[in-house]
Amino acid sequence: MRTVEYTRQGEAAQVLTLREERHRPAPGVGEVLVRMLVRPIHPGDLVGVEGLPGQPEQQSGARTPGVEGMGVVESLGADVRTLRPGQRVAVFPAPGTWSDFVVVPADLAVPVPAGVSDETAALMLVNPLTLCMLYRAMEKALRGQTNPVLQTAAGSSIGRLVGAAAVRHDLQLINLVRSTSGAERMRTLYPSQPAIATCDDDWQGQVRRHAGERGVQVVLDCVGDAMTQDLAGLLADGGTLISYGQLGSGTTPLEALPLMARALTVRGVSILRWMSRTPKERARDVAFAQDLSQSTPDLLEVAASYDLADFKAAIEHARRPAKSGTVLLTTPRTADSGHGAA
């Protein structure tokens, strides 16, 4: 069995290594052993490996990146009656999916709907569930108003899901990207939504013109960095900045006075808190994700697939500007790991 791991935080290409071992983990009571076939490289996986500037290292012993992916149930622990060996499942949250095998609680192994490809299944949970969380936070912040919403890194995998949800729910969305070519791609993808490139000197003026007198009610931001102050400045009084990522590299400044005087709200959203929802709420979100993977698999776009052993080249690809979709790490199917999309 092959496992990608690191024992200290640092530049991913330097600290990650591939370890081969004969030992396979065994599932305990209520758990299943999954033979992993495909797992994504999410920006958050790399933050886990590299840490954030100014934050103390969080490390004790060897760790394996990855929180989601898909595979085939290899064996069942005691008391597992909902799954069977050979069944295709998507797993989340399952720390350590960048390995050929992972043990997960049976209730976190979600059956892959018939007809859904292995690649789509590997992307079925984290981003759609994040969309559910962002959408709920956004609805709460809009308080029934129909004012415009602004999102950063709109061409990201999550940004495109938000774009599709806005079309579906007739929400006025303004898309921000960092390049002119990215803005052109967004206009092609979602012609009804304005797309603005932050490399334009007057990008803030363009946002104001599109937002009109009502101003922007909600900003969905996954870039952070110095731009956060400008984004807060674009909010209407009483507006909300929802922070859910830090693609930028600098610190995120916010002036206290405008926050107070203009009654702005800043709140964070993280998939890490999804497990604190009730089992019924989580089941609803998972049903949404399963449905999305069947009905609109093109929204879970794959940028490229690499063998797990080629993780360094895959990480380099995952960081390439203008990448479209998510990079996957794969393990070849064997005779006993089924035929996929069944």
Ligand X SMILES: NC(=O)c1ccc[n+]([C@@H]2O[C@H](COP(=O)([O-])OP(=O)(O)OC[C@H]3O[C@@H](n4cnc5c(N)ncnc54)[C@H](OP(=O)(O)O)[C@@H]3O)[C@@H](O)[C@H]2O)c1
| Interface positions with ligand X (CB under 6 A) | 42-44, 126-127, 130, 153, 155-158, 177-179, 182, 222-223, 244-245, 247-248, 269-271, 321-323, 326
Nearer residue to ligand X within complex by CB, 240 or 337: 240
Shortest Cβ 1–ligand X spacing (Å): 27
**Distance between CA atoms of 222 and 247, rounded to whole angstroms?**
6
Q: Taken in order 308, 15, 123, 327, is the CA torsion positive or negative?
A: negative
* Number of Cβ atoms within 10 Å of the Cβ of 26: 11
Residue closer to ligand X, measured from CB, 217 or 326: 326
Q: Give 175 or 331: the residue with its C-beta nearer to ligand X.
A: 175
Q: Which residues pair with 103 in a beta bridge?
A: 33
Minimum CB–partner distance for residue 56 and ligand X (Å): 20
Q: What is the smallest separation between the CB atom of 161 and ligand X, expressed in angstroms?
A: 8
Residue nearest to ligand X (CB): 245
CB of 99 to ligand X, least distance (A): 21
Separation CA 248–CA 259 (nearest Å): 22
Nearer to ligand X, 170 or 298 (CB): 298
Judged by beta carbon, residue 2 or residue 317, the one nearer ligand X is: 317
Supply the minimum distance, in Å, between the C-beta of residue 314 and ligand X: 12
User: Sheet containing 149-151: which strands, arranged edge to edge?
Assistant: 195-197, 173-177, 149-151, 216-221, 235-243, 265-268
Return the SS3 of 181.
helix
The C-alpha atoms of residue 34 and residue 74 are separated, in whole angstroms, by 5
